[in-house]
Structure formats: structure tokens, C-alpha cells
Amino acid sequence: MPSSEFEQEPQQFERLQKVLARAGIGSRRVCEKLIVEQRVTVNGEIPELGEKVDPETSQIEVDGLKIGVRQDLVYYLLNKPIGVITTSKDPQERSTVVDLVPTHPRVFPVGRLDADTEGLILMTNDGDLAHYLTHPSFGIEKEYLVQVEVKPSRNAIRQLRQGVELDDGLTAPARVSLVEERLIKIAIHEGRNRQVRRMCESIGHPVIRLVRSRIGPIVDRSLHPGSFRELTNHELRSIRKILLKDFSD
């Protein structure tokens, strides 16, 4: 017989619903419901309600989506200034987005913005969430404010909305509106290289200034260029909600 010392669960074991709630899935009540509905798996198995898991090592999925539950996961929202590049290391030693956030734990940018693009970018060490946020099949919309030189015609706006032919194919339908005389708002869920610049160029409106103003449900008009903050639990939950589509809080 093992001694009682060995029968005790290691300290880091926690109830599954608590772990899921902390990861931004929803309230504990919602998480309990998901477990009862057998929409959650732990290491590939369907758990009992009340089961305890080790957040450091357990592979947890909800509706087949991997959910990062490790305690060291961090999610930053950075307002990238012009001139800073979106790679982890630049051979030319230019300033990178990684230089603007804490070094421990090490995080990486979710997707990319051109050096001459400003605005919101997420930084995290949660590889699964990063994958879901950048994969077009999850349809996370990114919104951009685009300054152009002259007022685009209605027809130009319509073309952007319907899709324009680029050298890597037709762009998907986009949400496009004219905010001011020379300021367009474009929301897309594809992430092709220099896509917004190329879309605007293709209709005869080269971009003067490009700012990413929204990532899915995440906006922040008071975050100064070069500053970052952690995502709130509410924001993380709103992202999960879009990815998981049909669970309600």
C-alpha cells in the first residue's frame, strides 16, 4: 500500500472548471455546463464533472480546440509604432516588437504588421491561441484605418468590399467604409502579406498611413504607440467566444 503521503494529489491539481474559467472560457457555471455536455476533453478523454487536472501538463480541448491553461501564459496587447518590426530577432538589429514587452516569459507576436504599419498587435506565449487567431478559417476580423491621398469614389469602395484581384488571387469580401474624405476603414479576416496596402494600390489609392485599430473584439484607443498592457480576462473570454462560436455565457 502506498503511504498517505503518496496518495495525496500534487498541489498544482485543480478542478477542471476552475482551470477553464481562468483560461477565459467563461464563468465556472458555463465551464461546468461544457463539461457535463461532454464538450471538454482532458488528454483525449472525456472527464467527469469535478475532476482535478494539472494545468501545467494537461492537454485540454473544448469543442476540439486546444485551450492553453498553463499558469505562465501571458497575453499582451501592444500598440506598435512605425519603424518597429514584427519579428523576434532582426539580423539588422532594428528594434522589434519583442523589445517593447517584458522578456520573461518569452512571448512572440501573433501575426505581423509591416514596419511602416502602426497599431494593435497581440503578443503571447500561447501557441495554440496564436494559431487560431491567425488562421483565416476562424474568421477573426482585423480592422485597419487607411489614409489615402485623395477621396476614393463610391465605386472604389465597392471594389474593395467585393474583392480585388491581387497577384496572389482575389481578396475575400471585406467590410469597407469611408470614415472621412481620405480615411477608409477596412476589416478583413485574411492575413496576406501587405494585403491592405496592395488592395488599396490596386484601386489606384496608394496608402499614406496604415493603422490597425481592432483585432476581433479587441480595441483600445487610449494605448499609446510603444505601450502595451495585458489583455483582461473579459477580452480573452470574448476572443474564446468567437473561436468556440456557439457557447453562451
Question: Using CB under 6 A, which of 31, 196, 243, 244 touches ligand URA?
Answer: 196
189 near ligand URA, judged by CB under 6 A: no
Q: Which is nearer to ligand URA, 209 or 229 (CB)?
A: 209
Give Cα separations from 140 to 48, 193, 209 (angstroms).
32, 17, 23
* 233-244 and 127-134 helices, crossing angle to 10°: 60
Q: Which is nearer to ligand URA, 125 or 195 (CB)?
A: 195
Span of 44-52, 101-109, 113-121, 239-247 interacting with ligand URA by CB under 6 A: 113-121
Applying the rule CB under 6 A, the residues between 197 and 236 that interact with ligand URA are 197, 210
**DSSP class of 10:** P
Task: Report residue 201 as a C-alpha cell.
Answer: 494600390
Question: Using CB under 6 A, which of 17, 41, 58, 117 touches ligand URA?
Answer: 117
Residue numbers annotated as active site: 114
Go through 171-182 and write b for each residue having 16 or more CB atoms within 10 A of its CB, e for each that does not. beebebeeeeeb
**Nearest distance in Å: CB 153, ligand URA:** 21
> Which of 215, 231, 239 minimizes the C-alpha distance to 143?
215
Q: Give me the amino acid identity at 84.
A: V
> 207 has which bridge partners?
148
Question: Using CB under 6 A, which of 129, 195, 237, 239 touches ligand URA?
Answer: 195
**Nearest distance in Å: CB 210, ligand URA:** 6
> Which of 168, 214, 209 minimizes the C-alpha distance to 189?
214
Q: Which is nearer to ligand URA, 97 or 196 (CB)?
A: 196
CB atoms within 10 A of CB 83: 10
**Nearest distance in Å: CB 192, ligand URA:** 8
Q: Which is nearer to ligand URA, 25 or 211 (CB)?
A: 211
Binding residues (CB under 6 A) for ligand URA: these are: 113-114, 117, 194-197, 210
